[in-house]
Homo-oligomer: A and B are copies of this chain.
Amino acid sequence: MTQQSKPVVTVLTAPGEQQPPGMDALKARAEVRFACDEQTLRDTLPGTDVMMVTDFRTEALEAAWPCADKLQWIHATSAGVDALMFPGLIESDVVVTNARGIFDRTIAEYVLCTILMFAKDFPNSIRLQHRHEWKHRDTERAEGKQVLVVGAGSIGRQIGRLVRAAGLQPHGIARTPRHDDPDFVAVHGNDDLFNQLPHYDFVVIAAPLTPQTEGLFDHKAFKAMRNSARLINIGRGPIVKTDDLIVALEDGEIAGAALDVFEEEPLPKGHPLWDMENVIMTAHMAGDFIGWKRALTDQFLENFDLWHKGRDLFNLVDKRLGYAGSK
């Protein structure tokens, strides 16, 4: 294969982010270019056949889009592809794939962990420990608790499966309701969300960010939830109206929240969420197990080989829906 015949792959990272691991394997099969912002992307896009986008918050691609003269396929190394769903790309013939599957299990473990931490009152135990205070409390059983997983895609299903194995009762919310689901006690339709919300001890947001889900969890949703309920968000920050959440937590409309994603990331210092005792938070890392970056490159390379052979790609994103449809 001559240099000219090698496909051109542009890797778009966040500014200041290191190159992903495993690039040598890619360089053996393609001419690899790197970009990290709009300007470098404008320089690299002309002639690019394939893009690997590791920056799930990127705005550079939309800005540099007119420079994409030859692009066939964009692979996002994230589960959420909301940053790519701009009109120019949606209306183009460029196909989009995502990292479906890579983060499922670890995100499910994170969700089960936060459920158990709330049940066992561990946030308070750690604060008491900090103050050298011995204080016995009676805590909750997790067994039998009702869990609503909003978004029954690849991640949502894994959450359903794991919390069910641990003795809880998961229901799902998805486009298509069904009662013969292997991972959920039942799956309810999107339209049924507000009817379902009053019945759960834990509500888990595992949905993609789309025009339909943006701001979906507002004061009306929190009012519909049990006062004893906890919200867990491992989806995307803007699905929750943060100001409404803070009011709901302060007023006791709901009992707690575990948040891995936020409307603004990093969450600014001084933001009221930091100091709320009924909030557990982490830095958008729920799925990021040791070795995740290499796993993401390996998944891209697998798809790249299929693309190179002219075969069907896996993890295709439905650009109309804004996420990977069911298999």
- A residues touching B (Cβ–Cβ < 8 Å)? 105-106, 109-110, 112-113, 116-117, 119-120, 122-123, 125-130, 132, 134-143, 162, 165-167, 265-267, 269-271, 274-275, 279-286, 288-292
CB pair A283–B138 under 8 Å, yes or no, is no
CB pair A120–B113 under 8 Å, yes or no, is yes
CB distance from A262 to the nearest CB of B (A): 9
Collect the chain B residues with CB atoms within 8 Å of residue A142's CB. 109
A141 interface neighbour in B105, B130, B269, Cβ under 8 Å: B105
Residue of A116, A117, A274 with highest tally of chain B CB at under 10 A: A116
CB pair B266–A139 under 8 Å, yes or no, is no
CB pair A109–B119 under 8 Å, yes or no, is yes
CB pair A140–B280 under 8 Å, yes or no, is no
How many angstroms between the C-alpha atoms of A112 and B167 in the bound complex? 12
A285 and B139 in contact (CB under 8 A), knowing A109-B119, A132-B274? Answer: yes
Collect the chain B residues with CB atoms within 8 Å of residue A132's CB. 269-271, 274-275
Which chain B residue shows the least CB distance to A117?
A: B113
Collect the chain B residues with CB atoms within 8 Å of residue A135's CB. 283
CB pair A289–B140 under 8 Å, yes or no, is yes
How many angstroms between the C-alpha atoms of A109 and B118 in the bound complex? 12
CB pair B139–A288 under 8 Å, yes or no, is yes
CB pair B105–A113 under 8 Å, yes or no, is no
Collect the chain B residues with CB atoms within 8 Å of residue A280's CB. 122, 125-126, 129
Residue of A120, A265, A284 with highest tally of chain B CB at under 10 A: A120
CB pair A112–B116 under 8 Å, yes or no, is yes
How many angstroms between the C-alpha atoms of A278 and B271 in the bound complex? 27
CB distance from A228 to the nearest CB of B (A): 12
A125 and B282 in contact (CB under 8 A), knowing A120-B109, A141-B105, A270-B132? Answer: yes
List 7 A–B pairs whose Cβ atoms lie within 8 Å, in order of A's numbering: A105-B143, A109-B119, A125-B280, A125-B281, A129-B280, A138-B288, A139-B289
